[in-house]
Structure 1
Amino acid sequence: MANETLVVNSSLDDLPAIAEDYTATWCGNCVEVGNALETVAENLSMEIYAVHRNIYETQDPLGNENVDTRFRDRYDIYAPEYKPPVAGINGKYALRGSNPSGESLESDYAELASQPLNLGEGSVSMAWTPTGERSGTIVWTIEQSTSAVYNVTVWMVEKEAYFPDGTNNQIYYHHIVREIIDVGTVTDAGLSSGSEQITYAEAFDDDDLEVHIMFHEYIERTTEDVTPEPVEENTPFLSMPLTALALIVVALRRKDQ
């Protein structure tokens, strides 16, 4: 939790896949997508992050404009009318709507989450020390055998929020990304580290924020921009993003005791 001192570390080989669940409290078919992601996470090493729609949003109070913007940039989603559900996997693949491309949503997500990250040998670590009611110091390190360039961010994640006014009848919402904060960059092979004092937004309710560290790989554009064909709201698609932040590779948090 954000109000506890913690130290976590992992080898690059043991890092989980990342699933971003673009959702909203009014979105009925988002429930099906969320349930499918939960099922996959029970069988694979995968962390789920719920990104609640905030831009042009009037009904869902759980979102954050900065978080929404970063999600749209990561998957090249710029249309104002763009709506959930969207499942983003490892910052590289996006599946829109609740209609599966294959046999089921579970098999679609599992296939994408199982794609190798090809990170090479190395390790990552994070130390978090709270310094105030909504502040703390983050210390991170990464040792890598490749020369990948990363943007390092902290994600503040609310474990659960109570919102009975949502029209999809969920009442409780989980894994909510409340804020994303830049804390450094990685530009060289070998050992890199950083330290940052941060202040973060409060939880929607209760005191259940978690601190996660993320490393986003910077990948240069290698193909010309292509304008995609228009798709129906529930049409699934896969796309390789043409954004700078193309791959989320680290999610570290203190597990429940």
Structure 2
Amino acid sequence: MSVGNWTKIVVLSIASLMLPMAFAAPTPVASAGYPQGIFGGISIEVSNLTNASTESSMADYPSIAEVYTASWCENCVLAEEGLYTAISEASGDTMTLTFHRAIGEVEDPFGVEAADHRWEARYGDASKDTVSVKRAPPTIIINGETMHAGSGGLDGEQLKPYYAESLAKPSSFSQKSATSSLSWSSEDMATGTLTWNLEAGDWLPESTTSLVFV
């Protein structure tokens, strides 16, 4: 077989590998083969303050949307447009956490390798099963439970219903009881102590990597 024919086979193989990622609709799938999730999202303003505090219960927590993206990824822009439109029209609040591709990256300067390792550990297997790679921009995870990988060649308006459906779906731990608090104490309004406390029932293990509080 000639070198030219081998080149065609290699190119076709790569194209075949990329097709599922490029054209499959981002239908929701479980983010792992076991229960896991992310909850929290409370914050306080500490600028020019000596003391500040806040307390929130599980019923008041916002949804958490994790976005895996890259600065060169054109369809990531469309996916994020769809997500932010869905968030703006949702009945509850949503906190967005954005992660940029880092490992093997030569164009995007915003990624952190530790974040890529964390992404692969939590979502890599489900991502590979869905789009053949463990880290695929764009990917959007809702509440650490529901994964939308790829964009399916759709625009933001077409993608919005996928994300809206997941945002409207209660997380598996939304009916659990938990209260968290944040407090800030400072003498010079420049440095200080930030204290976080979480009170939950027996449903929350003392040690777990499946549930993350942010």
Q: Shorter-chain TM-score: which interval?
A: 0.5 to 0.7
TM-score computed with the length of structure 2 as normaliser: 0.61
Q: 1:27 to 1:126 in 2, by over 3 A?
A: same
| Pairs within 5 Å for 1:212-231 | 218=208
Instruction: Report the count of equivalent residues.
Output: 156
Counterpart among 190, 194, 197 of residue 141 in structure 1 = 197
Counterpart among 112, 115, 121 of residue 177 in structure 2 = 121
SS in 1 for 2:124: coil
Counterpart among 21, 24, 28 of residue 74 in structure 2 = 28
Superposed CA offset, 1:16-75 (max 9, x none): 111111001100000011111111221222111111111111111111111222122111
The residue type paired with residue 96 of structure 1 is A
The residue type paired with residue 89 of structure 1 is I
Q: What's 2:40 paired with? A: none
TM-score computed with the length of structure 1 as normaliser: 0.52
Counterpart CA distance in 1 for 2:190 and 2:102 is 22
Contact conserved, 2:124 with 2:135, CA < 8 A, in 1?
A: no
Contact conserved, 1:41 with 1:48, CA < 8 A, in 2?
A: no
The residue type paired with residue 16 of structure 1 is P
Q: 1:7 to 1:116 in 2, by over 3 A?
A: same
1:38 equivalent to 2:84? Answer yes
Counterpart among 113, 121, 131 of residue 73 in structure 1 = 121
Counterpart among 46, 62, 65 of residue 19 in structure 1 = 65
1:96 equivalent to 2:152? Answer no
- Structure 1: runs of 5 or more not aligned: 150-186, 188-216, 219-243, 252-257
The residue type paired with residue 94 of structure 1 is M
Q: 1:85 to 1:134 in 2, by over 3 A?
A: farther
After superposing on structure 2, the runs of 4+ consecutive aligned residues of structure 1 that deviate more than 6 Å are: 78-81, 130-135
Aligned alpha-carbon RMSD (Å): 3.1
Counterpart CA distance in 2 for 1:73 and 1:130 is 37
Q: What's 2:111 paired with? A: 63
The residue type paired with residue 111 of structure 1 is E
Counterpart among 78, 95, 99 of residue 47 in structure 1 = 95
Which of the pair is proportionally richer in strand?
1
Contact conserved, 2:136 with 2:150, CA < 8 A, in 1?
A: no
Structure having greater relative contact order (Cα 8 Å, sep ≥ 6): 2
SS in 1 for 2:117: helix
1:108 equivalent to 2:158? Answer no
The Cα of 1:136 is off from its aligned counterpart by 5.4
- Identical-pair percentage: 31
- Structure 2: runs of 5 or more not aligned: 1-44
Q: What's 2:17 paired with? A: none
